[in-house]
Structure formats: structure tokens, C-alpha cells
A and B are shown apart, each in its own frame.
Chain A
Amino acid sequence: MIDALAQLTVNGIALGAAYALAALGFVLVINAVGAVNFAHGDFVMAGGFLAVAISGYLPADLELPGLVVLPLTMLVAAGLGLLLSLIAYFPLRGRPPVSVFISTIAVAIILQHGTNAIFGPAPRAAPPVFGDGQVDLGIASVSMQQVAVIVVAAVLIGAVALVLSRTRFGRRLRAAAQDPEMAEAIGIDVPLMIAVTFALAISLAGATGALLANQFFVSPDDGGNYMLKAYIAVVIGGWGRIHGAVLGALLIGMFEVVVAAAASYVVAEALLYGALLAVLVLRPQGLFGEAEGRRA
């Protein structure tokens, strides 16, 4: 019983870590432009397919191809993020946030159907980052890919937090997000900061997709599910709160796995949405409070 609980906890943490990475990118865009990027989940899916495609170009005898695939996926995804900002955000800048909602929904649909057209409808698997195999912890067994998910998520989330809080560049990003007019007045190139934020956010989405596509495979219609998880994480953690989104995502991962094991998936899903409703009614600012002025 204890073994099973430990195993479920490990799975919950790994799943939550991946959700946290997705939620981090999602909340970065919310903070930067004050609007929701509804294509974020589909960029997670696209990251998975990018990893599959990139791995196809690597030598077959390459050891640990995932270590090469992951940074390349993030790089290409960053480029897609820039493209997203140019196509779906900048032409609509200054319009009501709903315009960006709609444009990103359109991008999501294009991504989904484009992926289906290019790769086909079958689920695909990306290579593992640290290779196959299991690590025996005594009371639980952790797959190398779960270790990779947890380690990569921790490193990337830590790095983003460090850049945002400790570097001049990070302070400029935050300034552009918090008060664009004032930031522009003191000489910060706000559009550049916004474009960089999109690149960073989609790069994180790409990493999430590459990590999940090994353990859970990837299909062209997976994006909606990841989008929903990121959205719920942000609502639970506090709209616009970066650490809130990360912790919210970890909570969701743990909650899903543990409640599904104790009761059933249907109960877990019902309780998750029940909890979401409860947060919206009883603590609309989220568990960690809402960042001021972030809600569109």
C-alpha cells in the first residue's frame, strides 16, 4: 500500500512538473500582454511533434538523442513564439483583449490541423532525454524520463525565475509587462520585450511537449487538454502569479493521480472542476493572490 502510494506520488510530481512548465509559459504571456494565449496547449503539442521530427534527422546510433532534441526543440519553438507574436498579437495590439483570444484560437486550430496534415493522425513518441530504464528507489520506481521531466522542469523554472528577478534583462521584461507606458518612457523597447516573452513562453511549451511526448506520446488533438490544465493552474494559483501557476500545476498533477487512484478518473475530474469552481467563488484571486491588473 505504501509502495503504491509512493509510486503514485512520484507519478503525480512528474506529471505536475510538466504541467508547471506549461503553466509557466502560459502565465508569462498573460503578464506581458494582458491576454490569454489560447494556442499555448497546441504549442505544447507542436513541441512534441517537433521533437519527433528533429529526432528523425539525428544519426540512429546517437546515444541519448533526447539531450540533443530538447534544446533544438526549444530553439525552434522560440522561433514559433516570435512568429506567433508577429501574426496573432502585434497586428491586434491596442485592441480589446478578446481580439487576441480569437486570434490565438485561430492559431491553435491551424496548428492542430497543420500537424495532422504533416504528421498524420497517429500518436507518436519522442526519444527519452536521459534514456530508457528505471531508477529503483526502494519503495517506488522512477523511469528515467520521469527523472528527466522533474529535473528539466526544475532547471527551466529556476532559470526563468532567476532571469526575471536577478538580471537587468529580466527587470526590463517585468517592467514592460507591468507598466508598458512607463517602461517605454524610460527607454525600454516594449515590443521587443513582448516578442522575447512570446519566444520564451513558447520555448517552454516546446520543452513540455518534447518531455511529455516520450512518456505519454503525442497526438495532433492533445493541445486542448494541456491548455485547460495550464488555465486551471493559473486560476488556482492566482491570475498572473508565476509561482502561483507553477504550484497550481503541481497541485493539479498530484490531485489527478492520487484521487484517480483512490476513487476513479471520473471522480478526480469532477472534483478538480469542483475545486476550480470553489476557488472562483470563495477565493477568486487564487490561492496565492492575483497579480494586480493582470485579468483581462
Chain B
Amino acid sequence: MRKIIVATAQIAFLAGALSSGSALAESVDIPILVPITGFISLEGTAQRNGAVQALETPPAGVSVSYEVSDTSTSPEVAVNALRRAISKGKPVAAAASIFGTQMLAMLPIAKRAGLPLITVSGTAKLTELGNPYIFRFFPGDAVVKVAHARYAVEELGAKRPAIIYQTTSYGQSGRAELARILTKLGAPPVFEEALSVKVKDMLPAITRARAAKADMLLLHLHSGSTALVVRQARGAGWDVPIVAGSAMHQPTTAALLRPAELKGVCAESASSPISESTADVKAFTAEFRKRFKTEPDAFALGQYDGIRMVLAALKDGAKDAEGVRAWLSSHTHKGLAMTYKSDGKGNMAHDALILCYDGSGNAPRIVKRYDNVDGVLE
């Protein structure tokens, strides 16, 4: 199904626009092509909401219109949505799917059309293809998995970690990075298991991880699977520390679990809007709650920051897609979650953090920040 929501953002503060020499007179198009149905719709909806919030509050003098298209879970639907967006006008950039499999299919088309794709997909391969039209505003696996593995080994003392990951491209990409870094840190995984998103009974994987004498559980799973493993591991009386992927930082994932089940559970993420105390992030969170009646997560904030950077490019005089691409490639942008700068491959985010639940509630606390992990920021 294709679900479309059409809206147009206002021209704000006309006087301010007129006084700015670089302001655009015409409205520009920034389509949102994300999965809002299917197994990754939770993350895709967060992504959409972040993009919408950014587009609905453009800087003075910038006028944008946008259309939301559901890419569901198949590459074909995503490709069709992108082709349709390109054929309908001259978009200057597009908010593109968090689902790595879809991004891999969309990238060649974006390159041919010269359209920058703004995404929060973590799949490592996306920025390794030499495509200059991808800009990732969520730390890729090469960043977050460093934080994930280092926290497990250096802070929690993992010596025999087990990895449970999803069979999707997201899961496989994260597993490869985790296994590589853990081995480098001297704690190679003693057990690895891939799960389809349809698997509900996690006990077989938990039983085998215990049999392998794992001393820690590292998860790289989507939301529902993450909550199921945590619940069933605790239900089976296995109290080892669990360091999960970014799905565990999502408020909707934590809401599925009781505080006692969350004790000893940590997660990597790019940010955690509900845990941050800075005024800007608090304002973003309050506006997000008011607008969408739900809690924001790191995907929403990353996508918001990405679209804000595109809007900053337009404000600064970028006139078309090529202008936006060139601006994104060469400028540094201070967003709400972090400072963004391209590493030359389109990786814009270089910080990660670790959040932990202490068993007293469902809101995590930031326990460790890993800034500029890949050394891109000066």
C-alpha cells in the first residue's frame, strides 16, 4: 500500500526572508520515502516524524513542500517511490529509508538522478559503494559497533560474549563489525546466532548461548526481537549483562518490558532525546511529543538533524540537488544530537553513546559517550 500524506510547510517570517540575500523565493521539494508499514515500520515512522518536524519548521526564508511515501519492506516499493518522486518534480534531496536493503536498491537511481539521499540507516555497506549522493546522519556500524564492543569489553569486562543478530542486511552488517572489533579487543564471540524477525521463541538461542558459556549477550536486533530476547533470557533466569543495539534505546521497546527485566540491560545509540538534559533537545522532545503523541528516539532526532542540515544548505544559497550535495559534502553542521561532517563517503555522524537501565524504571541513563570515534571531526 502506498500511503501518502501531503503537506506544505509555510513561508515563515517574510520580512526575514526578504532581508536575506540567499533566501530562496520558490518552494523546493524534499520527499520523504520511508517504511511506515511492515516489520521496520517502528523505526521508519520515527524517521518520518523527525523529517516532518524539521520540514514543518524551516528556517526563515526557506520554503519547502514534501510528500510522504511508504516504502514498506521491499526494495521494489522503495525504488518505485523514489522514481515517482524524481519524475514528479525536481527534488533537492530526499529523506530515504532506514532499511539498508532498500537503500542499496535506491542508491544507483539516486546517483543517476543526482539526488542526495538523507538517511539514518546503519548498514555499513551503504557508504562503501563510492556513491556521492548518500548522507547518513546516524553513526554507521563502523562507529556504533565500536562503542557497543568497547563498552562490553572495557567497561563490563566481557571475555566470552555471545552475539544474537537479525538475518536482515542490518543484522548481518552489525554482526560483522561486532565480531571484528570484539576479536580485536581480545574477546572473540563464543556464540553467534541469526534470527529472522518472525522468530518468537528465543529460548533455543538463549539455551545455546548459555551452553557456550557466554558471559555477556550482545544483541543486534530490531525492536520486537530485542525485547523478546531480553524478556526470555531473564525469564530463563539468565542474569548476564546484555548490551543491545540501538533498538533497545527506543522508548517503545523499553515499554514492552518490566523494569526488573531491564536491569543490567544497556544499549548503544547515537542519542537518546528523552535522556538528554540540554535545552535544545528538551525543546525538540516537547515539540515532538505534542506533534506526534509519542516519544522521540535517536532515529527521529538523526533524521531531523539531517533534514535541518539540508535546510541550512538551502538557506546558505544552495539552489538545486547538486548544490545541496556539494554543501553537505563540505560543511560542518551542529545538530541537536551531535556535530555532523562528511568523512568523504557520506558518513556524517561520528559519535555514539551507551545507555543503561538500572531496573527502577523504563527510561535509560546515558553512562558513556564515545565522541569522534572515527576521527573525522577536528
On A, residues with C-beta under 8 Å from B are 4, 7-8, 11, 15, 109, 112-113, 116, 120-125, 134, 141, 143, 212, 215-217, 219-221, 225, 256-258, 260-261, 264-266, 268-269
Q: Is A7's CB under 8 angstroms from B193's CB? A: no
Q: Residue among B39, B44, B205, B237 with the most chain A CB within 10 A? A: B39
Q: Give the contacting residue for A123; candidates B1, B45, B227; CB below 8 A.
A: B227
- Report whether A121 and B37 are in contact in the complex, using a CB–CB cutoff of 8 Å: yes
Residue of A nearest to B255 (CB): A122
Contact assessment for B223 and A7 in the assembled complex, using a CB-CB cutoff below 8 Å: no
Cβ contacts under 8 Å, B253 to chain A: 123
Chain A residues with Cβ under 8 A from B252's Cβ?
122-123
Query: Taking A217-B227, A265-B193 as contacts, is the C-beta distance between A8 and B203 under 8 angstroms?
Result: yes
B211 to chain A: which residues have CB within 8 Å? 4
By a CB distance below 8 angstroms, the chain A residues around B204 are 8, 257-258, 260-261, 265, 268
User: Using Cβ atoms and an 8 Å threshold, which residues of chain B touch A134?
Assistant: 235
Stretch among B20-28, B108-116, B149-157, B194-202 lining the A interface: B194-202
- Whether A221 and B205, one on each chain, are in contact in the complex, defined by CB atoms closer than 8 angstroms, is no
Q: CA separation between A216 and B37, bound complex, in Å? A: 20
**A109:B1 contact, CB within 8 angstroms:** yes
Contact A122 B223 (CB under 8 A): yes
> B207 to A7, Cβ gap below 8 A?
yes
With A8-B204, A265-B205, A266-B194 known as contacts, the answer to whether A116 contacts B39 (CB < 8 A) is: no
Q: Does B256 sit within 8 A of A, measured CB to CB? A: yes
B positions within 8 Å CB-CB of A:
1, 3, 36-39, 41-42, 44-45, 73, 167, 193-196, 198-201, 203-205, 207-208, 211, 223-224, 227-228, 235-237, 252-253, 255-256, 294
Are the CB atoms of B228 and A143 closer together than 8 Å? no
With beta carbons under 8 angstroms apart, the residue of A109, A261, A265, A268 that contacts B207 is A261
B223 touches A123 (CB 8 A): yes
Which residues of A sit under 8 angstroms from B228, Cβ to Cβ?
Answer: 216-217
Contact of A15 among B44, B167, B201, B208 (CB under 8 A): B201
Q: What distance in Å separates the Cβ of A117 from its nearest Cβ neighbour in chain B? A: 8
B52 to chain A, nearest CB (A): 15
Q: With contacts A123-B223, A123-B252, A264-B193 known, what are 8 further pairs, Cβ within 8 A?
A: A8-B203, A11-B203, A15-B200, A113-B1, A216-B200, A221-B73, A264-B194, A265-B199
Bound CA–CA A227/B122 (angstroms): 31
In the complex the two chains form, what is the Cα distance from A134 to B237 in whole Å?
Answer: 11
Pairwise interchain contact A221-B235, C-beta atoms closer than 8 A: no
Q: How far is the CB of A255 from chain B (nearest CB, A)?
A: 11
CB distance from B270 to the nearest CB of A (A): 19
A154 to chain B, nearest CB (A): 19
**A138 CB to nearest B CB, Å:** 14
**Is the Cβ of A220 less than 8 Å from the Cβ of B194?**
no
Chain B contacts for A265, CB-based, 8 A = 193-196, 199, 204-205
